[in-house]
Amino acid sequence: MNDNWIIWVRSVTCCASARQIAKKVGVSSTAVSKWLNTEPTTAAVVGIAVAYHAPIIEGLFAAGLLTEADMVGIFSLQRVPTEQLVSELRRRSVVRRAS
C-alpha cells in the first residue's frame, strides 16, 4: 500500500469513510476499500478526484501512477483534453500491469 495515496485520499476527502467516499463517487464501499488497501487504478484516482473537485494529476502522482519524470512539461499538458490524458493513463496502467 502506498502511504502517499492514503494521505492524499484522506486529505481530499477530509477523512471520509469508505462508505461516504463510495456514495460520493458512485461506487460500492467494497470497491473503495479495495482502492485503499491495494494499488489504486487510474479510474479510482480519477473518480475520487472528480467527486471531490481535486486535481487529478496530484492524485495520480500520490498513487504512484505518475512519476516525477512524467511531470516534466506538465504545464503544456494543460492544453491536452482531459479525455486524451485519461486515455493515455489507462494505456500506461495496462502496460504497467503486464510488466
Give per-residue pLDDT as tens, 34-51: 999 988 999 999 999 999
> What are the C-alpha distances in Å from 75 to residues 5, 10, 18, 60?
23, 26, 33, 16
The better pLDDT of the pair 85, 98 is held by 85
Helices (H), the chain: 3-13, 18-25, 29-37, 42-51, 56-62, 68-71, 74-77, 82-98
Phi, psi (deg, nearest 5) at residue 55: -65, 125
Domain boundaries, the chain: 3-98
Chain segment 59-97, per-residue pLDDT in tens = 999 999 988 787 776 666 667 788 888 888 888 887 666
Prediction pTM value: 0.70
